[in-house]
Amino acid sequence: MIIHEQEITWATHKLILTNKKAIYWPAQRTLILSDVHLGKAAHFRRNGIPIPSKIHQKDLDILEILLNHYTVYKVIVVGDLIHANANGEVLDFKNFLYKFQTIEFVLIKGNHDRIADRKILDLGFRSVCDELHIEGITFVHEPDKSAKFQISGHIHPGVTVKLPTNKYFRLPAYVVSEDMIILPAFSQFTGLDTKQVFEKAVNYAVLDTGIIVVK
């Protein structure tokens, strides 16, 4: 698997957007991702909707590749780590984190993260909070249009690209404006919001084969 990168300078910091839907911040050796929705497939299965669990495994495999590819001291998940409740797939993640004990995992709580903080810490997370500030950047779950230098997730942004043949394709995308970055959902098993339009924002749409800029 090849990781494609797009380097941007934002809020005076150098950030690397990857086509694996996570941002690497080299100066801080930090990986930033959002909307992991752990246990979503299992939650569906519990309710009688047969989704194969391989999809969940694939998300973890990608995370593992990212953690091995970059030098990572810290991982910030900007919300929606856990889709519903602590099921088997969530517990899988505990074993996963066990392999990366030297890395500090931090969760910004999202609207889906309704399970007790204690249980999240129990998985191997170092801390859980509602908001985080590092070097002038604010990390929150839900984007706030009035904020300054904010990184968030929540809306699962995407774009629709129209080919000249009147065919449409929807792709996950980073939304980047002067004041904010909204991450695409990390999990493959999520929908896309292609309807919200952010003024003066650039979209970086991700494909398996690269990143494309859509203005």
Partner 1 sequence: MNKFEQSLGYLHIVSWLNEYDRTPFSFQRKSWEKINAGYSGMVVAPTGFGKTYSVFLGILIDFMNHPDSYKKGLKAVWITPIRSLAKDLARAMQEVVDQIGLDWVVEVRNGDTDVKIKQRQSKQMPDILLLTPESWHLLLAQKGRDKFFTNLKAVVIDEWHELLSSKRGVMVELAIAYLKCQQPKLMIWGITATIGNLDEAMHVLIPYSGNKVKIVAKEKKLIEIVSVFPPEVEVLPWAGHLGGKLVEQVVPIILESKSTIVFTNTRSQSEYWYQILLDAYPDFAGQLALHHGSIDIHIRTWIEEALSEGRLKAVVSTSSLDLGVDFKPVDTVVQIGSSKGVARFIQRAGRSGHSPFEVSKIYFVPTHSLELIEVSALKEAVKTGLIEDREPIVLCYDVLVQFLVTIALGGGFVKEEMYEIVKSSFSFQWITAEEWDWCISFITIGGKIGKNYEEFHKVVKNEEGYYVVEKRRIGMLHRMNIGVIVSDAMVKVKFLGGGYVGMVEEYFITKLKQGDKFILAGRVLELIRMKEMTAYVRASQGKAITPSWLGGRLPLSSNLGALLRKKLADAKKPSTREAELKFLHPLVNSQEDKSHIPSENEFLVELIKTREGYHLFMYPFEGRLVHEVMSSLMAYRISQLYPISFSMAMNDYGFELFSDKEIVLNDEQLRHILRKEDLMKDVTASINAAEMAKRKFRDIAVIGGYVIQNIYGKQQNNKSLQASSGIIFQVLEEHEPNNLLLRQAYTEVFNQQLEEPRLMRAFERINSSAIIYKFADSFTPLSFPIKVDSLRQSLSSEDLGARIQRMQEQSNRLNRKRR
Contact region for partner 1 (CB under 8 A) — 25-33, 101-109, 142-150, 185-193?
185-193
Q: Minimum distance between the CB of residue 95 and partner 1, rounded to whole angstroms?
A: 15
Q: Minimum distance between the CB of residue 178 and partner 1, rounded to whole angstroms?
A: 20
Phi, psi of 49 (to 5 degrees): -110, 110
* One residue of 161, 177, 179, 202 binding partner 1 per CB under 8 A: 161
The answer to whether residue 5 forms part of the interface with partner 1 (CB under 8 A) is no
What is the spatial distance between Cα 113 and Cα 123, in angstroms, rounded to a whole number? 13
* One residue of 64, 68, 71, 88 binding partner 1 per CB under 8 A: 88
Q: Minimum distance between the CB of residue 37 and partner 1, rounded to whole angstroms?
A: 10
The answer to whether residue 136 forms part of the interface with partner 1 (CB under 8 A) is no
Contact region for partner 1 (CB under 8 A) — 24-32, 79-87, 116-124, 149-157?
79-87
SS3 state at 50:
coil
* One residue of 15, 42, 86, 107 binding partner 1 per CB under 8 A: 42
Contact region for partner 1 (CB under 8 A) — 4-12, 13-21, 46-54, 101-109?
46-54
Q: How big, in percent rounded to 5, are the helix, strand and coil portions of the chain? A: 20, 35, 45
* 90-96-97-99 Cα dihedral, nearest 10 degrees: 160
- Give the list of residues 6+ apart from residue 24 with CB closer than 8 angstroms, or none: 5, 15, 16, 18, 30, 31, 32, 66, 70, 72
| Nearest-5° Cα angle at 23, 20 to 27 | 140
The answer to whether residue 45 forms part of the interface with partner 1 (CB under 8 A) is yes
Q: Minimum distance between the CB of residue 22 and partner 1, rounded to whole angstroms?
A: 20
Q: Minimum distance between the CB of residue 86 and partner 1, rounded to whole angstroms?
A: 12
What is the spatial distance between Cα 105 and Cα 81, in angstroms, rounded to a whole number? 11
